[in-house]
Structure 1
Amino acid sequence: MTDEAPRALLERLRAIDWEDEDAPYDHAVSRAALLREHFRRTALWARAFGAELSWPYIDLAKLIDPTVRADDEVLAELKEYLDEEVGWPQVEATLVAAVHWTAFRSGTQIALPDLDDPYEPLLLMYERGGAFTMESNFIDLNGETLPVKPLREHASLEPVVSLDPAVLDALDQQDQ
């Protein structure tokens, strides 16, 4: 199996400015919409594979085929990067799952349902303003707080938001 897709994602992650204190507030509305879209997509994937109880923080690649994982070298680089730059366990777990997902998507022969990429909205959310923190059943995005709702409330077939940068920017402009 090739490590090109996971390595490309690792490079994308390295470009995120986790220290930008203004970005989470400048992009608060779009980041909240992107997180809700991530929850919607992962809810659909969890339902498709009978993993409702593992949702919302789920390593979908491991669930579907635990034999297809990212290369150890990429994972070692990712761990080093996460230890130095990120430091939030929930965020780190989602990034590791996303890297495994890219390896899975490029290396699996399993027929998959026609569902949208579950991690892309989350990655865009990180790129638009860094991490999140969790307290109880709430996710704090520094500018927006979202309750963690049950899977059934997220498993809609209708997207929450377009991933188009212009649409996301427009959401943030409406808030100002």
Structure 2
Amino acid sequence: MREYPRRTALWVAELRKDGPPPFFGTGHPDNWPFCDIAARVDPRVRAEEAIAARLDAFLSEHASGFLVGTVCRAALRWASLPDEALARYPHLPDPFEPLVLLLERGGGFSIENGFIDFIAHRVRLTRWEEHTATPPIPSLTPDALDALDAAETPTSARFRAIDAKFERRIAEAVESIGHTYVRSIVTGV
């Protein structure tokens, strides 16, 4: 989902105007784009302890990895920001909305070889400055996201082609082996 790095890049660009370079960016590439923007907007922000504890308990059972937990905690701190802290930035979108929607819809992500891999869609992990020019996704409604999910992309087309090729190879192997047990495992019959 290219919308998350785009929105985060807009916040990084804006926060760089407020003073010394933020704690994320060039000097800390491990933080980009999964950075705690709320801590920069208002360093005093803390999530309610009971809610943070519930999130930690949930993540300990359900998070697919450390990075997902890091982002969920940052999103909770973001949601804990007081309105007056955000009033200084009325022109900027909620940076975590696209990622929260991705997770709510059962999606996941990882980082590998300079890409954020959103399972079937990959987003090149470049410097934050390059993401500020990315066109916004016009709508994050469920229908609009369903249409994006269904859209043909080079990555999703490649995965479908790999899956089809893999299925053909399995079918050929099963036919050549002719073993009932292998056929039942592969075909479920």
TM-score by length of 1: 0.71
SS in 2 for 1:49: helix
Question: How far does residue 121 in structure 1 lie from its aligned partner after superposition?
Answer: 0.6
* Equivalent-residue separation in structure 2 for 1:73 and 1:142 (angstroms): 32
Match of 2:35 in 1: 58
Match of 1:38 in 2: 4
Match of 1:114 in 2: 91
Question: How far does residue 88 in structure 1 lie from its aligned partner after superposition?
Answer: 0.7
Match of 2:54 in 1: 77
Match of 2:14 in 1: 48
Question: How far does residue 114 in structure 1 lie from its aligned partner after superposition?
Answer: 1.4
Match of 2:44 in 1: 67
SS in 1 for 2:108: coil
Question: How far does residue 162 in structure 1 lie from its aligned partner after superposition?
Answer: 1.9
* Equivalent-residue separation in structure 1 for 2:72 and 2:11 (angstroms): 17
Percent identical pairs in the alignment equals 37
Match of 2:182 in 1: none
1:149 to 114, 120, 126: 126
Alignment of 1:4-23 (within 5 A): none
Q: Is the 8 A contact 1:46 1:55 kept in 2?
A: no
Question: How far does residue 140 in structure 1 lie from its aligned partner after superposition?
Answer: 2.0
Question: How far does residue 167 in structure 1 lie from its aligned partner after superposition?
Answer: 1.7
* Equivalent-residue separation in structure 2 for 1:133 and 1:157 (angstroms): 21
Q: Identify unmatched segments of 5+ residues in structure 2.
A: 17-21, 26-30, 158-189
TM-score by length of 2: 0.67
Alpha-carbon spacing, 1:145–1:158, altered in 2? closer, same or farther (3 Å): closer
Alpha-carbon spacing, 1:146–1:87, altered in 2? closer, same or farther (3 Å): same
Match of 1:12 in 2: none
* Equivalent-residue separation in structure 2 for 1:87 and 1:104 (angstroms): 26
Q: Is the 8 A contact 2:47 2:76 kept in 1?
A: yes
SS in 1 for 2:10: helix
* Equivalent-residue separation in structure 2 for 1:161 and 1:91 (angstroms): 25
SS in 1 for 2:43: coil
